[in-house]
Amino acid sequence: MSSQAPDTTRIHNIGYRSYDGPRLGRAYARRSLFSQSLRGAYGLGRSAKSKVLPMLLFAVMCLPALVIVAVAVVTKQSKLAIEYTEYAVYLQLVISIYLASQAPQSVSRDLRFRTVPLYFSRPIERVDYVLAKFGAMASALFVLTAAPLLILWIGSLLAKMDFVEQSRMFGQGLVSVALLSLLFGGIGLVMAALTPRRGFGVAAVIAVLTISYGAVSTLMGIAYATENQGAIVWLGLFSPMTLIGGVQTAFLGAPSSFPDGSDPGAGVGVVYLLAVLALVAGSYGILMRRYRKVGL
């Protein structure tokens, strides 16, 4: 004799309702992505392991400035041991390592795990994504390079150096690192966005920044040794760091970074500045083109 099991079927009202809260739109989404990317560039909001390298590099950037300030205050110097505009040039290797480590983590993971189309399924558009990532990377680099300049400026005031002169040079240094941050940030993101593999992105950024600077510096040295000074100033157009050096020498009162110690002058300086702006705009254009394809 068989008995039939009782019917236990139930219909549940899950209570789906349409969203009736505030709709914050594209601007809010763009700001959120910018904030998240900027925080991520220093490991904030990520694992403890992710914080080690960016924070260590930030400390390495600031340590020489602290030492210079301490010596200036103790010995009552009338001038800092380094110019504000020279600081980033001397520590360009640290900047390159930071960019190589953080640019790929900003964009490569989205490419690798194919999350970019998910961003574009929301009110955010490609231009918002690129602007947020570009702005965050440039801002992270500006924090990295401007913080030691702020330490130098505060130290100069503690050492009772001339306030007006130090403030003027501090302002020139900030303009210099702002241009550097835009240029390096754009180049770094372009290199990182070419591949979803983070390791390849790191290698590409390092190669572009260090090999180009090494090659240009070598060619400048050869031109100087062969008394071909006219070529030195134009060779500087082929490396991001020498481009920044030429701009700040021409317009920001920085010491010359050329082997012969020459000042490129305002005319050549305009060419350098236009080259920097063209590279920044070109990096933005390449990123827009790249994400038109990725978002499909």
Q: Dump pLDDT digits (tens) for 113-151.
A: 777 777 776 678 889 999 999 999 999 999 999 999 999
The residue among 87, 97, 86, 100 whose CA lies nearest residue 57 is 97
The percentage of the chain sitting over the pLDDT mark of 70, rounded to a whole number, equals 91
Q: Name, in order, each residue with C-beta under 8 angstroms of 240's C-beta and a sequence gap of 6 or more.
A: 183, 184, 187, 208, 209, 212, 213, 279
Determine the pLDDT at residue 261: 78
pLDDT at 11: 63
Query: 52 phi and psi, to 5 degrees?
Result: -60, -55
Higher per-residue confidence, 123 vs 157: 157
Place of tokens 């009162």: 253
Looking at per-residue pLDDT, the higher value among 3 and 58 belongs to 58
Q: Which two tokens stand for residue 30?
A: 């763009």
Q: What is the pLDDT of residues 66-90, one digit of tens each?
A: 999 999 999 999 899 999 999 999 9
What digits encode the pLDDT tens for the residues 264-292? 788 899 999 999 999 999 999 999 998 88
Q: Which residue has the higher pLDDT, 112 or 89?
A: 89
Predicted TM-score of the model (pTM)? 0.89
* Residue 174 reports pLDDT greater than 90: yes
Q: How far apart are CA 42 and CA 35, in angstroms?
A: 11
**Is the per-residue pLDDT at 1 higher than 80?**
no
Cα–Cα distance between 266 and 181 in angstroms, integer?
A: 22
**Distances in Å between the alpha carbon of 165 and those of 41, 135, 171, 254?**
33, 31, 10, 14
Q: What is the pLDDT of residues 53-70, one digit of tens each?
A: 999 999 999 999 999 999
pLDDT of residue 47: 86
Average pLDDT of the residues in 148-175: 96
Residue 248 to residue 12: CA distance in whole angstroms: 69
Confidence of residue 260 (pLDDT cuts 50, 70, 90): confident
* pLDDT score, position 169: 96
Q: How confident is the model at residue 10, as a pLDDT?
A: 67
Summarised one tens digit per residue, pLDDT across range 188-236 is 999 999 887 888 889 999 999 999 999 999 999 999 889 888 888 899 9
Q: Is the pLDDT of residue 293 over 80?
A: no
CA distances from 251 to 232, 254, 268, 287 (A): 18, 8, 11, 30
DSSP 208: I
Residue tagged 């349409």 (tokens) = 18
Residues composing the chain: 296
Supply the pLDDT for residue 109. Answer: 79
Identify the band that residue 258 occupies on the pLDDT scale cut at 50, 70 and 90: confident
The answer on pLDDT for 14 being more than 80 is no
